[in-house]
Amino acid sequence: MIIISCKICGKKVKAKPYLKNIKKYCSRKCMYLSKIKNDYIVFNGYRYFKTKYGYYIKRIDGRTNLHRDKWEHYNGPIPKNHFIHHKNHDKSDNRLCNLEPMERGEHSKHHNIHKIERKCSIENCDNKYWSNGCCQRHHYYYKQGNIHKFKLKKILT
C-alpha cells in the first residue's frame, strides 16, 4: 500500500500501488468537488467551496458556512437562536461589514415578508396566496385549466 494525499482536502489515504496515477481523492465528495469549477476562498487555512445556492462552505471537520466561521473568528460565538444575516442579500459577499446577527424569528420575517402579504388574485377572494397566484381553493381550478371561469383582480402598476 502507498499513501496518497487528496487533491481537495489534503487528507492522507492508503491506495494500492497500481492506483498511484489514478486515485487522486479520498472520497466521492472530494471527487465531486474537483469537478465543480474551482470557485473557492481560503480562510483560516481551509478551502471554502461555493455551492449551487451561493454559500461558501467547508466540508472538513463537519460542514460549516464561511459567513458563520468568519463572524465567530472576529466577533466571538454566535448568540443562541441567532442567524448570521447578509445585509445586501448576496450570499457570496462575506465581508464583516455585510454580516449581522439576527434573531431566528426576525430573520424569518425579514425573508418571508413578501409571502405573508400576498393574497389570491381572484376577484372578491381575500384568502392567502397559496400557489400560482391563487389561494388553495382556486388552485384546484388552475390545475384543471378552468381558472378562466373566474374574474381576476385588476392589478395596478
What residue spans define the domains of the chain? 1-35, 37-117, 119-149
Residue 10, phi then psi, degrees to nearest 5: 85, 5
Tell me, what's the pLDDT at 147?
63
Tell me, what's the pLDDT at 53?
82
Tell me, what's the pLDDT at 37?
57
Most confident range, picked from 8-17, 76-85, 119-128, 129-138: 76-85
Identify the sign of the CA torsion 116, 120, 126, 127: negative
Average per-residue pLDDT for the chain: 79
CB 48 within 8 A of CB 66: yes
Instruction: Give the pLDDT band (50/70/90) at residue 157.
Output: very low
User: Rounded CA gap, 155 and 145, in Å?
Assistant: 21
Taking residues 131-136, report their average pLDDT: 67
Taking residues 108-117, report their average pLDDT: 67
